[in-house]
Structure 1
Amino acid sequence: MKLNLAENIKSFRKERKMTQEKLAEALGVTVGAVYKWESGLSTPELSLIVEMADLFDTSVDVLLGYKMKNNRVDHIIKNINKLCMSFDNEAITEVDKALVKYPNSFEVLNIGAETYGYYGITRRDCAMMRKSLDLYDKVILLLPQNKDPNISEATIRGHMANILFMLGETDKGLEILKKYNASGMFSSVIGSYIAFFTDNKDEAVSYLSQGLARAFSGMTTSIVGFIFYFCHKKEWKKAIDINNYAIILIKGLKSDEGFNSLDKIHSELLATLSYVQKKSGKKKESEQTFKEAIEMAKRFDSNPEYSMNSARFIENDEDIIVYDVFGVTATESILKIFTKLDDDDLIIKCKELI
């Protein structure tokens, strides 16, 4: 069994910008002792290892560099997930066993927190929800062990906030979400809970607007990705269906207050639709859709407005900007789309009209 204690002591010390002298002073040992630990010439006593782990805000396992056999942990986690899928009470029993066996494993504590939270919320069991919060506190301390890109402190805090909402501690939950609301990732939830549970309904509008804009941007980006994927697979009907769905979505948000970024995206979607219609043998429909795309793009470019603030339901003091990857102008974007789709005929027609 290989340990990396010497290397880790040095690494953690430098991360915290501590000299060997400062670490020695904090632990009540000599500088020579610290030097020997980091050089691998000697090993600190267990009590000092525990003290250093606490000082470095990490676990003893991580400080030691001990890597347990993941196949056993993976098996336990898969089993717990399977039990949760059928809401089997045995899941909690298995979690408790795992926590005893692997008290310093990020993966085990995380699945434990998730399971207690899931069962606690479903059963409205306050004790289980409190247990979940306690476990999540420990999970955050063990984040250096995390290898899952889908998990971060922000996502964990989000789970904790949801549990606090279920416990009736709305203010605490909102405080957490507001603190970790990077790029508006929690805006929809913040706005919804303010509207649901507080008297200050007006505060919800800004968050709800940000959340709606973010959700729209994410959905249209995914839809455009699907359109190009379906075109690659020559699944034209699917491409038309999802393209039309995106256009319906945009029309539902567009207002009569002039043009904004929705019109640019709308023109781009009409361009992709004209291509797919052409490939589907719908020549007349393709020509009409192409004409609409160019006309809308030109109108937008004559007075471009990249904010979504004039869209329906959006009420925000600051501009909410929606970007796309195709181009600055709408006509430039359409030309780039046809280039990506490798359609020389539509490229030539586009250049003639713009």
Structure 2
Amino acid sequence: MEIKLAESIRTFRKERGLTQEQLAEVLGVTVGAVYKWEAGLSTPELPLIVEMADFFDTSVDVLLGYTLKDNRIDATVRRLLHCQRSKDLSGLEEAEKALKKYPHSFDIVYRSAMLYQALGLYKRDSAKLRRALELLEKARPLLHQNTNPRISEQTLYVAMAEICQDLEDDERALELFKQHNTNGLYSDCIGMIFAKDAKCAKEAVPYLSESLLIHEAALVRTVMGYLNLFLNNRDYAQALALLDWALPFFTTMPRPGCTSFMDKINMVFYMFQAHALLKTGQPESARKSAEEAHCLAVRFDAAPSYAADTIRFVMPGEDSTANDDLGETAAQAAQNALQQIDDPQMTALWQEMCDER
């Protein structure tokens, strides 16, 4: 709490056009006393502060320069979140005060834990990380108060696992990650811990393979979503920028020499690229993209494969397979893409590719 009494006395005195001698006479004190107040060398007693506030026609809190802070739970949580995002160490003092005031509030305990975790990582401070772990343990029995759908018991346990990992307690971190690895959500973390030890390399590979497939599939869906957004808004420049970024990665996902389900997916991306190029007045580049799409379609339909291990770095023999709703064959997927694009110029270009082949 910052008190600005010295500055306020000086400001109010000057606003009234008074000298230090005149103010001292009004209050019945020495000039030296007023000088010390304004210099911050001493503080007037409470009755004099009240008398000055009355004389200056203001309130005591304004004279003190004190602004009442909102210490309700919601406001405190917002400040703690801001400190977490801005890596502000002063938030730790407020967190501890809030924990004393609201020791049974889930929001306060959880947000304080997240602040300690963020600053513990930022400062590489084990003590702060251990405090975060302690607070997460306290948050668990308070979880029934939680109203945020993005926070669950799994959220707490995974945060604890991450902190254990940062504290190099890999055994505890593995235990927690494995217990809450729904649909392979934390296979990357498990694989990374195993991979730290050369003796556990074989145990790392299945988890890393699973994680690679999960995240590559998520990236494909995300790019498709953005692409639909841009094309529906006729923002062809953004669509081309997105594909220029994504296609170099997507086209290198299949193992060299293997036909992969990614060939079928990339065919559709190349068709969208050809369409966007046509719409931006680049017919020659559009033709090259359409040719690439057609080659991928012919290649996939000649030997279709949805096996997961056709993707680079995925463990050979991985028994999972890919699924898509593009069409039963690449040829059908191309027709479905043309219907979605609904552009005569693109349809004519694709028919030209088919006739030439």
- The number of residue pairs the alignment matches comes to 285
Conserved in 2, the CA contact under 8 Å of 1:335 and 1:351?
A: no
**Match in the other structure for 1:92:** 92
Pairing 1:243–2:208 present: no
Distance in structure 2 (CA, Å) of the matches to 1:71 and 1:340: 54
**Match in the other structure for 1:232:** 232
Residue-by-residue CA offset, 1:187-242 (whole Å, 9 max, x unaligned): 11211121124631221111111111222111121112112222233322221121
The Cα of 1:94 is off from its aligned counterpart by 1.3
The within-5 A match list for 1:1-354 is 72-197=72-197, 199-347=199-347, 353=354
Query: Residue 317 and residue 155 in structure 1: after superposition, are their counterparts in 2 closer, same or farther (change >3 A)?
Result: farther
- Give the partner amino acid of 2:119: Y
Query: Residue 145 and residue 305 in structure 1: after superposition, are their counterparts in 2 closer, same or farther (change >3 A)?
Result: farther
Conserved in 2, the CA contact under 8 Å of 1:262 and 1:308?
A: no
**Match in the other structure for 1:21:** none
Q: Which of structures 1 and 2 has the bigger CA Rg?
A: 2
Distance in structure 2 (CA, Å) of the matches to 1:71 and 1:234: 48
Distance in structure 1 (CA, Å) of the matches to 2:143 and 2:325: 33
Distance in structure 2 (CA, Å) of the matches to 1:181 and 1:339: 39
Query: Residue 327 and residue 89 in structure 1: after superposition, are their counterparts in 2 closer, same or farther (change >3 A)?
Result: same
Conserved in 2, the CA contact under 8 Å of 1:129 and 1:163?
A: yes
Query: Residue 244 and residue 324 in structure 1: after superposition, are their counterparts in 2 closer, same or farther (change >3 A)?
Result: farther
Distance in structure 2 (CA, Å) of the matches to 1:155 and 1:113: 12
Query: Residue 339 and residue 149 in structure 1: after superposition, are their counterparts in 2 closer, same or farther (change >3 A)?
Result: farther
Residue-by-residue CA offset, 1:26-59 (whole Å, 9 max, x unaligned): xxxxxxxxxxxxxxxxxxxxxxxxxxxxxxxxxx
What SS does the aligned partner of 1:252 have?
Answer: coil
Distance in structure 1 (CA, Å) of the matches to 2:350 and 2:86: 55
- Give the partner amino acid of 2:121: I
Distance in structure 2 (CA, Å) of the matches to 1:311 and 1:99: 50
The Cα of 1:269 is off from its aligned counterpart by 0.9
Residue-by-residue CA offset, 1:102-125 (whole Å, 9 max, x unaligned): 233222221011112222233343
Conserved in 2, the CA contact under 8 Å of 1:205 and 1:316?
A: no
The Cα of 1:263 is off from its aligned counterpart by 0.9
Gaps of 5+ in 1: 1-69
The Cα of 1:272 is off from its aligned counterpart by 1.0
The Cα of 1:328 is off from its aligned counterpart by 3.4
Gaps of 5+ in 2: 1-69
Conserved in 2, the CA contact under 8 Å of 1:206 and 1:316?
A: no
Q: TM-score, normalised by structure 1?
A: 0.73
The Cα of 1:349 is off from its aligned counterpart by 6.1
The Cα of 1:271 is off from its aligned counterpart by 1.1
CA RMSD of aligned residues (A): 2.5
